[in-house]
Amino acid sequence: MSITIWHNPRCSKSRQTLALIEARGVAPHVRLYLKDVPDIGEIAAAVDLLEIAAIELVRRGEKTYRDAQIDDASPERLVLAALAANPILIERPIVFANGKAAIGRPPEAVLDIL
């Protein structure tokens, strides 16, 4: 089984989700998405797999959110562009497995796709 996690090691939920996956005997591909930034197409694909609107993937508590000038009324393409330009805004962690995706908030939420 191939599993990928968009991971931020500074985030406790991301670390907990990674540990949960590893505890199941799986060594996922760890993508440090703040350094290996997903492009608009990859983010759009993640949104599709998550079955959410792009704005639901945005971390609204980040200072960068206010600077990005996006909100619930923003067109999807603008939100995707803001996420690609400011990856710190991407909710984390995101786990991809078995043609599905899940956000690890709480970490146990990813168990359904493993």
Known catalytic residues are 11
Nearest C-alpha neighbor of 29 from the set 40, 20, 21: 21
59 three-class SS: coil
Strands 3-7 and 94-97: antiparallel
- Name every residue whose Cβ is closer than 8 Å to that of residue 90 and which is 6 or more positions away in sequence: 6, 33, 38, 43, 57, 58, 59, 83
